Amino acid sequence: MTPIRNSGIPDPWAAGQAAGWKVIDASALADDLMLDADIAIVGSGAGGGTAAEILALAGLKVVVLEEGPLKSSSDFRMRESEAYPDLYQESAARKTRDKAINILQGRCVGGGTTVNWTSSFRTPPSTLAFWQREYGLEGFGVDDLAPWFAQMESRLSIGPWEVAPNANNEALARGARKIGISASPIRRNVVGCWNLGYCGMGCPINAKQSMLVTTIPAALAKGATLVTRVRARNFVLTDSRVTLLEGQAMDATGTAPTSRTVRVRATAYIAAAGAIGTPALLMRSRAPDPYGILGKRTFLHPAVVSAALMPDRVDGFAGAPQTIYSDHFLETQPIDGPLGYKLEAPPLHPVLTAITLPDDGVAHARWMQQFPRMQVLIALLRDGFHPESQGGTVRLRDDGTPQLDYPLLPVIWDGARRALRSMAEIQFAAGALSVMPVHGGGVAFADPAAARAAIDGFDLQPLVTTVVSAHVMGGAPLGPDPTRSVVTPTGRHHQLENLYVFDASLFPTSIGANPQLSIYGIVAHLATDLAQALTSRR
Amino acid sequence: MISRRTFITTGILGAAALVTAHWLRGPHAPAGDATLRVLDADAQAIMGAIVPVLLAGALPIAADARTKAVTATIRGVDTAISGLSPSAQDELRQLFALLALPPARLAIARVSEPWTRASEAEVRACLDRFRGSSLTLLRSAYAALHQLTFAAWYGNPTSWARIGYPGPPEIPA
């Protein structure tokens, strides 16, 4: 084991724990643990972290349970072989039921915000309008939410990124310009970013303003308690209230529970375990679901991938990972029509690149040997708006763990085909020598006409065409109508008076943009209202 | 470890063959590396046949370095599997247990010799058949072997020079 090299960077967790932050690693518990609190929060990601700070600052006693470990800047060595098992659900290999979609989801203190690529977008106005129109959701319009987005943008230093994009992102800007479609810079939540390019493995210099370095430390400084490596098993329900939260400690590897339990008795309970974890937690709790909505309509922004070979070095592993996007194919068509897609460029690191590239043996090795000249685009399909795009369903396995069944229906493949065409066109316009849509045996094309003709003829299939996701949304939607939503517009469960859902499960559809800021803003709004309701009762 | 006889999800072989698996399975692979956490001797033999084929063109040429790289990759696959959910680990154990059965090796993989002696050509053909299968189960088996092997190899700094990846930057202390 090589020594930790980044010891020169101050780690706020070392200082905080020295100052007496209450942090308990449940994997090391010698006895069962019972805690009392005003608020018990399940999850420390975008939803749980945002809520924890707001509620703790309101003077409430907060306990946060996190399934993953506490890892912080002094642990972050920018190695995929360490980051994926340490920081991601199922070692970054979580899959849908038929294994056709690989899902990247955080599982660590800070959740997805610790490992995301910093892309920050307010919820698109067209998405909010759809929620209002189709779900009767009032109070979530652009103007209603603007102050909440502004508050969280300020809290997390979300702003323009002034550094030039890396060559991987620049190729998207260049290609888009050449074919006459819009592309714009992405705002990021960073302070003093060194432009390293390793956001997905935990920021080693604490530049990324994730929950790990902002809201969770602030809540702990206000006296909150954080329990790590504990999986929330179920809420105990008595009549229409939650009376207890029961969790199982996980072992140090994070894969299996130990025999220790962690229980929290609180006034109010918040599920913020992400859009797979939260519906599963409610299912294990046998929470009322009279209209069969829970865990349904779970969305992924299913993404398809296009790899290109450029004449010069791209070095897609270096530099801020996502700085340019194009919404041309979202904005130029009806939101509920054939699926639109957002175009972005992902960071390229050896493991993620190698497992995503099709084929194997000598052909795969040839592509990998061109790794520094590789340029990659992804297209995130906006699911959940078209009537045939109903997303997936979360179910429980026999062992109580969740599984997402997300059928890849023709409505998805139709969007995927158009997206593969667009990406190839942009990559050739940006100067690509060859383009390989990530499908089947991985055939590369040397000119746009050949690529287009081939893509038109592709037999797009699960486990033939690579589909990935880093955004899980829905499954416990908010809305006024209990026949169509799990929680009210305040985030409170329709049938349980002291249970709240504060995470991406709330969204009635996908967002149509990287969701972190949507979660921050909406949860800041809901958590502030909850804090007021709870403190005014005193 | 889940019993081999609990493997019922496929329907490829039919339940009868699996019930008789116990006495059909024949001699075990030679003792494997007992320090691995998930892969038993049979699974190590299977990966020992598959890894050099998936990584053809990526592994070092020199025999000694090549053997070391294959061994390290199998160890990396074991580490990767041990980080998966218990249900995913069980599925992979079942996949390896199935492929280790001579009838399944012959009928599904169409590999005529035990995995320790399997020819590269037969392993290559097996992987191609899995990848191109009309059954999503076999395609997912290919995908799992592909992802585990490439994650293990390209997560290993030994592989980086060959692809021109300089490794993560140094953070000045």
B117-130 confidence digits (pLDDT tens): 999 999 999 999 99
Residues 94-123 of B with CB under 8 A from A: none
**Residue at which a domain ends, from A444, A469, A494:** A469
Residue B173 with chain A: CB contacts under 8 Å: 5-8
Residue A346, both tokens: 């992902």
* Number of domains, chain B: 1
Q: Which residues contact B79 (CB under 8 A, 6 or more apart)?
A: A85, B37, B152
- Number of residues that this document lists for chain B: 173
Looking at the structure, do residues A119 and A254 belong to the same domain, yes or no? yes
Instruction: Please answer whether residues A84 and A71 qualify as being in contact, where contact means their C-beta atoms are separated by less than 8 angstroms.
Output: no
ipTM: 0.95
- Nearest-CB residue to A368 (from B56, B163, B170): B163
Nearest CB neighbour to B171, from listed A9, A99, A363: A9
What is the model's pLDDT at position A139? Answer: 97
Tokens representing residue A349 in the block = 């690191």
Torsion of CA A208, A110, A116, A229, to 10 degrees: 140
Per the CB < 8 Å rule, is A350 touching B172? no
Q: Which of B85, B69, B157, B59 is nearest to A351 (CA)?
A: B157
Please report which helix (H) or strand (E) contains residue A160, including its range: none
In a domain, A6, yes or no: no
Residue with tokens 């206000």: A222
Q: Average pLDDT in the A403-408 region?
A: 98
Domain that holds residue A392: 167-187+298-469
Whether the CB-CB separation of B148 and B38 falls below 8 Å is answered with no
Contact between chains at A360 and B146 (C-beta distance less than 8 A): yes
Q: Is B93 left (phi over 0), alpha (psi -120 to 50) or beta?
A: alpha
**Residue A302 to residues A167, A342, A381, B46, Cα–Cα distance (Å):** 25, 11, 5, 33
**CATH at residue A66:** 3.50.50.60
CA distance A530 to chain B (A): 35
The span from the CA of B157 to the CA of B165, in Å, is 9
Band of residue A333 on the pLDDT scale cut at 50, 70, 90? confident
Same domain, A423 and A525: no
Residues of B with CB below 8 A from A368's CB? 58, 154, 162-163
Helices (H) and strands (E) in chain A, counts: 15, 24
Q: Is residue A117 part of a domain?
A: yes
Tokens in use for A191?
Answer: 């302070």
Residues of A in contact with B49 (CB under 8 A): none
A465 lies in the same domain as A399: yes
Q: Could you tell me the CA-to-CA distances from A113 to A45, A118, A310, B76 in Å, in that order? A: 6, 8, 31, 27
What's the mean pLDDT when you consider all of chain A? Answer: 97
Minimal Cα distance from A368: which residue of B? B163
Tell whether B8 is covered by a domain.
no
Token representation of residue A109: 């203190």
Question: Which residue type, as a one-letter code, is found at position A263?
Answer: R
Give the count of domains, chain A.
2
Q: A375 and A171 in contact (C-beta within 8 Å)?
A: yes
Which residues of A85-240 form beta strands (DSSP E)? 94-95, 101-103, 119-120, 158-159, 184-185, 187-189, 225-228, 230-238
Q: Quick one: pLDDT at residue B11? A: 42
Q: Is residue A245 part of a domain?
A: yes
Residue A442 sits in the same domain as residue A488? no
Please check whether residue B118 lies inside any domain of the structure: yes
Pairing of strands A257-271, A241-250: antiparallel
Calculate the alpha carbon distances from A118 to A147, A211, A430, A434 in Å: 21, 12, 25, 29
pLDDT of residue B32: 86
Instruction: Tell me what pLDDT residue A169 has.
Output: 98
> Whole domain around residue B124: which residue ranges?
33-160
In a domain, B22, yes or no: no
d(CA B91, CA B89): 5
Give the model confidence (pLDDT) of A216-255 as tens digits: 999 999 999 999 999 999 999 999 999 999 999 999 988 8
Is residue A7's pLDDT more than 90?
no
Q: Do B155 and A81 touch (CB under 8 A)?
A: yes
Q: What does the pLDDT look like over B17-73, one tens digit per residue?
A: 444 444 445 555 677 899 999 999 999 999 999 999 999 999 999 999 999 999 999
SS3 assignment, position A534:
helix
User: Considering the entire predicted model, what is its pTM?
Assistant: 0.95
Q: Are residues A26 and A41 in the same domain?
A: yes
**CATH code: domain of residue A179:** 3.30.410
Where does a domain end: A421, A450, A469? Answer: A469
Cβ-based neighbour number of residue A400 at 10 Å: 15
Would you say residue B7 lies in a domain?
no
Nearest-angstrom CA–CA distance, A537 and A245? 22
Residues A364, B139: C-beta atoms closer than 8 Å: no
At residue B12, the pLDDT reads 43
pLDDT tens per residue, range A271-322: 999 999 999 999 999 999 999 999 999 999 999 999 999 999 999 999 999 9
User: Residue A375's pLDDT is what?
Assistant: 98
| Cβ <8 Å between A79 and B155 | yes
Give the Cα separation of A60 and A201 in Å (integer).
33
**Distance of alpha carbon A46 from alpha carbon A120, whole angstroms:** 12
| A320 and A457 housed in the same domain | yes
Cβ-Cβ contacts under 8 Å, B151 against chain A: 80-81, 84, 351, 354-355
CB A508 within 8 A of CB A134: yes
Identity of the residue in A365, A371, A397 whose CB atom sits nearest the CB atom of B87 = A397
Mean pLDDT throughout B129-138? 95
Which chain B residues contact residue A205 at CB under 8 A?
Answer: 171
Closest CA relative to residue A212, chosen from A33, A75, A58: A75
On whether residue B46 sits in a domain, the answer given is: yes
| Whole-number percent of chain B with pLDDT over 70 | 82
Q: Percent of chain A beyond pLDDT 90?
A: 96
B17 inside 8 A of chain A by CB: no
